[in-house]
Chains A and B, each alone.
Chain A
Amino acid sequence: MKNPFEAFHQTAGRRREIPLDKILKSKEETLTKILKGYEDLLKNEAKDLVWLMQYSTVIKAYSIAEKGIEGIEYTAEDIEEFCYALDRSDQIPYLITGPAGVYISALCNYAKEEEITLHLRDLNVKINLLGYRLPPNKKLIVEGNVGDFTGIGLDGGELIIEGSGKNYTGAGMKRGKIIVRHNLGFNTGHGMTGGEIVVGGRIKGLGKIVGGKVFERDHLIFPNEGVKPFYF
């Protein structure tokens, strides 16, 4: 008897491997590695689900992050994927935005690209500490709003925020430039010794600034007659 499904048998799916499969596979693998490095950081730094924002903890977290990302081949798009993976995650430690910011900063600082754009407009959480220690010849553009301590310890790089930031932006920065399209919060530039902060909107309050320049809507507000440098 003739098989009635013979015609279907001959047209069985061809299913060939296309480069898209490789791209997606490699993307998944990279994300897994990046997440693994982040989990190691959390194991060390946020065991009790508490992370105190102190000078020493940030330095320690950054050095763990540097080790965590060692040997990982990634691009700016992978960093962005990681940010969204954090946002989607329901694991409580993932949502502690301090270590996340230090880790993302390390990823940006060691990325191959000189210019990195992170499209974070749809992110629900506002990540703190983005742009930490951004080195010279690096440009980080963040589309969306960011949290506290953005661009602290900036070390010669250029950080552009296409949105608003919160408190302590540019605190302790040494050189480089921070451009914020909209507004900033309190203690802006606290302890900064050099570099420039340029804000398109309003600044709620300046911190104790040692050196450098701060512009608000094209006006130099530090140093000027009313605001003198602070000496610690």
Chain B
Amino acid sequence: MEIEKVIQKVWPKVRKKHLFPQIPTPKVIEGGEDVALEIKSKQLFISNSFYEKLRDTMDGEEIVEAVLDHGITHYMYCPWDFHTHLTLYNEAKKVVKKKDLAQKATTYFMDVVADTYCVKQKETKIPNLYKNIAKTGVYEVLTSLYEKIWGVDLGSGEHDERVNRLSRIPYLERKRWGESIKKFTKVIQDILEEELENEQQNPQKKPNPLGEHSLDNYSLEEIDRGLREFASAVEDLQEFKETVEDLKEELQEKGYATGGMGRGKGSPIDANLLYYMKLAESYTLPIRKLPIEKRGDLHPHSHMPWEIGKPFADIDVWTSFGKIMPGITQIWTKREGETYGELEGTPDCLIIIDSSGSMINPRERLSYAVLGAACACNAYLKNESRVAVYNFSDALRGNKIVMDFNHEKEQIYQAICRYFGGGTALDLEDIQYLLSRSDNSDIFIITDMQITNLEKLIEFFNQIENRVTAVHLGHNVHSTRFKESTDKKKNISLFNVKNKEDIPKIVLGKIKEYLSSTSEWG
């Protein structure tokens, strides 16, 4: 095919122009003649039919160069990554409220930004391409806009008030893209609505000539990273939830599920769970490993010369050549053996989380309790330890989840995110049962401390030797009482969380005076 030869010729030049992006050589597809470009993960596909159609009016090399410039600039500048794409979509959605309209607005905005960047920064044939492709609907307005902001004649005719408004948007100011896409969407909203209505009436959809921007453009790793960054950037849970719900089908088709990438189509996406999972990935809580214990037994460590008065029993006959003579005879120096405690490395963890009425419902707003518990869960699972969950509200009336120790992240998150919203009472028998299922496990409790049977819990914690990381949300008389009562216990550490920034300050399994005196342990 002619186009393949053209790509082989043009590709090195285009790569050099864009400073050698890490993108494989573009491929040719026999796609529809209306769409020039398809992008899947990092692979660009150029439509041969589109090329043939435009070949009569434009030089072949120019067509390929312009299409490649457009495609590469999407990788190199806008959207750059999946997080930016999601952010832009989220802002557009705030204006148009509908998924389809927001997707269209995002695609058009990203095209304007990428092409304008290319025209300003590189030697490109993109303007020629716009001169030769059909100018209908939004493209009519956009071509008119390009004429105005690029200063080239694309044969679009008059510029109306709409183009004046569009031309005042700072497309190349990345920091203002959020605000810019809102303005952009508002100005073209009525044309987008018209376009959508036409598409709904006419099953023959008129595609974007330079390709649509969808999840197909990204790999699963990019999607995973993008969601993590998006979870940290959005103002609240509802924003994240709404965006993920919109993209749920596409994410599932890609094989992305709540547990992360590559979990298959079977596992449905729970936007709430995904939010806490991705947000928790942004925080890393350190875990103190169990300290080394002195075991008391001695073992030979190194040699030293024997002197009169030193015990004969320690003489090493093999290195002393069978002689008892000072200076020649060698004895073993012995050292006390060191080993880990009963458990080596990181123990399992029991997460106790309060989901009573005084706590925030994690499915409505960002719950620091759930986020804290999720971070603790991640930290232990990463260390290959198991996690058990005791989620309670009015436990004595059955409002509780008792989940045994396991490695299943998704199940653990489901247990953590469950909200009861009733009274607050623990059933210590449940906790004792869970503790009996693993040796010397750590305990992570997160609550506002407004627990009906707090005294019993304090008494219980004062009896056990497990390491307890207690996190209380906000100050109240109950948290003060807990603090005072457990102050002398070295295995209990108390942290207060007032906002998101306090969460990384939590150290799991921290033991008071651990650093100053490890010898007391054992």
Contact = CB atoms under 8 A, between A and B. Distances in A.
Interface of A: 7-8, 10-11, 13-16, 18-21, 23-24, 27, 75, 77, 81, 117, 119, 122
Nearest to B173: A24
A21 B148 CA distance: 11
Interface in B101-121: 116, 119-121
Contact of B119 (A18, A23, A27): A18
A23 B167 contact: yes
Contacts of B167: 20, 23
A77 B168 contact: yes
Contacts of A10: 16
Contact of A24 (B16, B122, B168): B168
Given A23-B149, A24-B170, A27-B168, A11 B19 contact: yes
Interface in B406-424: none
A181 to B, nearest CB: 17
B148 A15 contact: no
A15 B170 CA distance: 16
Contact of B151 (A19, A27, A117): A19
Nearest to B145: A20
Contact of A14 (B123, B150, B151): B123
Contacts of A75: 164
Contacts of B164: 75, 77
A15 B20 CA distance: 18
Nearest to B150: A18
Contacts of B171: 20
B456 interface: no
A20 B121 CA distance: 13
Contacts of B19: 8, 11
A11 B121 CA distance: 11
Contacts of A14: 121-123
A10 B20 CA distance: 13
A16 B120 contact: yes
Interface in B453-482: none
A118 to B, nearest CB: 12
Contacts of B121: 13-15
A23 B121 CA distance: 18
A20 B116 contact: yes
B42 interface: no
A11 B149 contact: no
A27 B164 CA distance: 12
A226 to B, nearest CB: 42
Nearest to A16: B120
B116 A7 contact: no
B505 interface: no
12 contacts: A8-B19, A8-B20, A15-B120, A18-B116, A20-B120, A20-B149, A20-B171, A20-B172, A23-B167, A27-B168, A75-B164, A119-B186
Given A14-B122, A16-B120, A20-B116, A7 B16 contact: yes
Contact of A18 (B16, B122, B149, B165): B149
B176 to A, nearest CB: 11
Given A11-B19, A14-B122, A77-B165, A19 B150 contact: yes
Given A19-B151, A20-B149, A23-B168, A11 B16 contact: yes
A19 B165 CA distance: 14
Contacts of B186: 119
Nearest to A13: B121
B17 interface: yes
Contact of B149 (A16, A19, A77): A19
Interface in B128-161: 148-151, 161
A156 to B, nearest CB: 24
A102 B150 CA distance: 37
B154 to A, nearest CB: 13
Nearest to B187: A119
Nearest to B116: A20
Contacts of A122: 182
Contacts of A77: 164-165, 168
A77 B122 CA distance: 30
A14 B118 CA distance: 10
A20 B166 CA distance: 10
B43 to A, nearest CB: 23
B361 to A, nearest CB: 28
Contacts of B182: 122
A117 B168 CA distance: 16
Contacts of A117: 161
A20 B19 CA distance: 25
B17 A20 contact: no
A26 to B, nearest CB: 10
A32 B28 CA distance: 51
Nearest to B13: A11
Task: Enumerate the 3 nearest inter-chain pairs by beta-carbon distance, A residue then B residue, closest first.
Answer: A20-B149, A19-B151, A18-B120
A75 B161 CA distance: 11
A34 to B, nearest CB: 14
A18 B123 CA distance: 13
Contacts of B168: 23-24, 27, 77, 81
A24 B167 CA distance: 8
B168 to A, nearest CB: 6
Contacts of B172: 20
A13 B77 CA distance: 14
A116 to B, nearest CB: 11
B496 to A, nearest CB: 31
A10 B16 CA distance: 9
Nearest to B170: A24
Nearest to A12: B19
Contacts of A27: 168
A12 to B, nearest CB: 10
A18 B17 contact: no
A119 B182 CA distance: 13
Nearest to A28: B170
B183 to A, nearest CB: 9
Counting chain A CB atoms within 10 Å of each CB, the highest count among B17, B149, B151, B168 belongs to B168
Nearest to A17: B120
A19 B121 CA distance: 14
B252 to A, nearest CB: 34
Contacts of A8: 19-20
A20 B150 contact: yes
Given A15-B120, A23-B167, 6 more contacts: A16-B120, A20-B150, A23-B148, A24-B168, A77-B164, A81-B168
